[in-house]
Amino acid sequence: MENCVYRYLIVYDNERNLIYGECIKWLIGKFDFDHEFETTSINLGQDLKFKFISSKELKHSFNQEKKELTIGEVSLSYLIHEEDFIAQRYDQPFNPLIDRCSKIQIFAKEEDLDFETRLWIRDKKKSFESLKEQTELDLIQHNELLNTFIFYEPTRIIVNSKFLDKRIGQQSPEPKKLQITFQDEFQQFHNARYLLTAFKDGGILESKDGNIQEIVQMDLNESPDELEIQIYDHENQMIYDQRYFYLKKINIGATYKHGSVKLDDGSTVEKYTRQQFSVGE
């Protein structure tokens, strides 16, 4: 049996209709918090409230025939039930709710918000602003999440990549030797395989594949500016997908005050200087 907790955030109205809900299945490691609790309902005003739940058992269930999801006395009538996968890539839409690659199940009342719902959002603006202040969840900005419940199963693999030949100064060559390691936190993916792709100016420098138990080294012909990391389980299902840039140079501009000048008419003019400099190349 897995040692895990199910962490819920639910937002609902006075009629106990689910406005938004999420649950993250979180495997418990040595330093993880595993206490069970359920907060009392926190009032947002305008007939809306929310609560947090942490439980070692699932609190939600759904009836596929009736198309109804329930969390205790709170319910959502849904039309859409889909499974998907969230990647961590700069070239895909930002996901506001989780910072890991994750399998997800989505339950949604409707595909698009109708006009009446948009008016309702505007009327409840004050309550949603209060929700954001208390939970960082912005349902005004991300109104596509309204009338949904999302169940997350994040992939607990930590990927570390570093250059073995870091630049010492601006005149030294750009780094070309990459080392990538994989930490399977709960030993769930013994037979998982990686696919690594290094890019330069949008073109592929090199691709490499193998088992995630390996320590991988890529000796490239040029210094990469992007790295793509994909991991597949023993059934060839993608469980990890990340792509990011290497930041090589930062341009910084600064304006600072350094004294003042007194004019003949008695007025004073402040003296400012602007400087620009770069960090990196």
CA separation for the pair 270, 93 (Å, rounded) = 45
94 — pLDDT class (breaks 50, 70, 90) = low
Averaged pLDDT of the chain: 89
Quickly tell me which residue has 């008419």 as its tokens.
265
Please give the model's pTM, rounded to 2 decimal places.
0.82
Q: Cα separation of 69 and 81, whole Å? A: 10
Res. 111: pLDDT tops 80: no
Amino acid letter at 144?
E
Q: What is the pLDDT of residues 19-50, one digit of tens each?
A: 999 999 999 988 888 899 999 999 999 999 99
pLDDT tens digits, 166-185: 777 677 788 999 999 999 99
**Residue 59 in 3-state DSSP?**
coil
Chain segment 205-239, per-residue pLDDT in tens: 999 999 999 999 999 999 999 999 999 999 999 99
Could you give the domains of the chain? Answer: 4-154 (no CATH), 157-245 (2.60.40), 250-280 (no CATH)
Q: Give the rounded distance of the alpha carbon of 227 from its chain centre.
A: 18
What CA–CA distance (Å, rounded) separates 100 from 191? 21
Q: Which of 107, 196, 188, 194 is nearest to 155 (CA)?
A: 188
Alpha helices (runs of H) in the chain, residue ranges in sequence order = 115-123, 125-135
